[in-house]
Amino acid sequence: MSDNEGLLDDELYLEKVYLAESYKEMANDFFKKQDFERAIELYTKAIETDPNVATYHANRSFAYLKTECFGYALEDASKAIELDKNYIKGYYRRAAAYMSLSKFTRALKDFETVVKASPYDKDAKLKYTECNKIVKKLAFEKAISIEENQKNIADSINLEAMTIDDDYIGPQLEDGKVTVKFMQELLKWYKDERKLPRKYAYKILLDVKTWFMAQPSLIDVAIPDDSKFTICGDIHGQFYDLLNIFELNGLPSETNPYLFNGDFVDRGSFSVECIFTLFGFKLLYPNHFFMSRGNHESAMMNRMYGFDGEVKAKYTTQMALLFTEVYNWLPLAHLLNNRVIVMHGGLFSRDNVTLKEIREIVRNRQPPDEGVMCELLWSDPQPQPGRASSKRGVGVQFGPDITQKFLELNKLDYVVRSHEVKNDGYEIGHDGKCITVFSAPNYCDTMGNRGAFITLNGKDMKPNFRTYEAVPHPDVKPMQYATSLLKFMC
């Protein structure tokens, strides 16, 4: 090779390095603006230009964490470590991905690597200590559950022993029942940042558990021709945005039925207010107010993302355990007029799943890591045909052909699901056959997205979309009650 050829190769190499760095810097700017999707696009360009730089993969891993693509985040962090075994940020990112996937032992191992490499890093030491506490606590709880039969918390609640303060002036149950007046006053009470008495809170939980226990896993909903029906997506503890939905669309009633499609709690720091509002309306209008389980209605997600801590701060550990029992009985999907199926996550890793199979799921448990129940809660659509590994690390991604096969097999018109932030609050995919609706605007006070809900009528079942911006809320940050290891995620 001549000297000139060598110089040309060097120039091309430097040009490639400069271009990749330019993409990275632009991506960093978008990341700072919290435009994570655009940041991911530009980090991807940097990786395509120069795939052997650990920083690019680690940065994209962080952006994937912000968009809850935990499976992708794990892959990128692992690639960064593969490229540079001494790149500490890679271990940080991988530990965060493992934490988000509830793989705490693996996260602890990566935090340990960080601490050994940087023994004077106080932040690393704190993360290691916190993760170690979680691992030990889970091991202890596992040992206890093996030694004892798991107790039914509902059976241990003694409502008669609970009192209500004489100076309490808030909403009152009438003969132990939720009424229209109670719900109207409860919304005002919560808006003023007040708390429902413990006795009433427990009564609502016990009653709603009894109701859900009697329901199948797939609920049939009949919508008359001339009736409006509303579907809402994720609320995630954003109580003041929930109030705004009712302002825009009317309070639930027998003539204004609703379906809330999972992820009522976590991340947002008004989750207690959201869930008691929704459970209250369920008890008031049991045949006209519906709730599907989301992937965040689970013990581990609640522990990580704030709901467990919020319940313990506002009430008791016992109540947090009771919520887990109630969530285990939430229905998994709803069938509207035998034409539209609504579930939180999405479709399946095999083609032969029928409505009958969904209806017969034994759901009184924590969500499994695979199978139909898991996929109902965790899966996501993708634009390309076929299936792919989940970007979240749980569930599956499914294409338009998969959706079409499922609809044909079960004689359905289309699927409605939630589970993903969308800039407009909704997205119509798969040739109109797979609709996403997300009802938490400016998710986590950072995403800048609009919220949306769907209205339809029984005659044509055509979806209509109403979008809206976030409304102000009291100065309580999202993830206020989350484990300290994940507060940076929001």
* DSSP per-residue string spanning 382-423: -SSSSEEE-TTSSSEEE-HHHHHHHHHHHT-SEEEE--S--T
Mean confidence (pLDDT) of the chain: 94
In the predicted model, is pLDDT for residue 448 greater than 90?
yes
Share of the chain above pLDDT 70, in %: 95
- Mode of pairing for the β-strands spanning 396-398 and 380-381: parallel
* DSSP per-residue string spanning 298-320: SHHHHHHHSHHHHHHHHS-HHHH
Whole-angstrom Cα distance, residue 353 to residue 359?
11
For 14-48, what is each residue's pLDDT tens digit? 888 899 999 999 999 999 998 999 999 999 999 99
Across residues 63-69, what is the average pLDDT? Answer: 93
DSSP state of 42: H
The tokens describing 412, both together, are 């359905």
For 176-211, what is each residue's pLDDT tens digit? 999 999 999 999 999 999 999 999 999 999 999 999
- Encode 324-336: b = buried (16+ Cβ within 10 Å), e = exposed: bbbbbbbbbbbbb
Across residues 81-110, what is the average pLDDT? Answer: 93
Q: Of 377, 209, 391, 219, whose CA–CA distance to 298 is shortest?
A: 377
The tokens describing 65, both together, are 């964490």
For 230-247, what is each residue's pLDDT tens digit? 999 999 999 999 999 999
- The pLDDT score that the predictor gives to residue 402 is 98
Give me the catalytic one of 296, 334, 344, 473: 296
How many CB atoms neighbour CB 94 within 10 A?
Answer: 28
For 145-178, what is each residue's pLDDT tens digit? 644 456 789 999 999 999 999 999 999 999 999 9
At 387, the amino acid letter reads R
At 115, the amino acid letter reads V
Instruction: Measure the CA dihedral 63/65/69/75, to 10°.
Output: 90
**Is 288 considered catalytic here?**
no
In the predicted model, is pLDDT for residue 300 greater than 50?
yes
- The pLDDT score that the predictor gives to residue 486 is 67
Of the ranges 109-123, 215-229, 378-392, 414-428, which one carries the lowest mean pLDDT score?
Answer: 109-123
225 class by beta-carbon count within 10 Å (0-12 exposed, 13-18 middle, 19+ buried): exposed
Q: Of 416, 439, 410, whose CA–CA distance to 246 is shortest?
A: 439
- The pLDDT score that the predictor gives to residue 487 is 54
How many CB atoms neighbour CB 109 within 10 A?
Answer: 16
488 pLDDT band, cuts 50/70/90, is very low
- Encode 439-476: b = buried (16+ Cβ within 10 Å), e = exposed: bbbbbbbebebbbbbbebbbeeeebeeebbebeebeee
Whole-angstrom Cα distance, residue 224 to residue 38?
43
DSSP state of 53: -
- The pLDDT score that the predictor gives to residue 106 is 95
In the predicted model, is pLDDT for residue 228 greater than 50?
yes
Q: Of 415, 409, 478, whose CA–CA distance to 34 is shortest?
A: 478
In the predicted model, is pLDDT for residue 411 greater than 50?
yes
The tokens describing 375, both together, are 């996929």
Q: What is the largest CA-CA distance in the chain?
A: 95
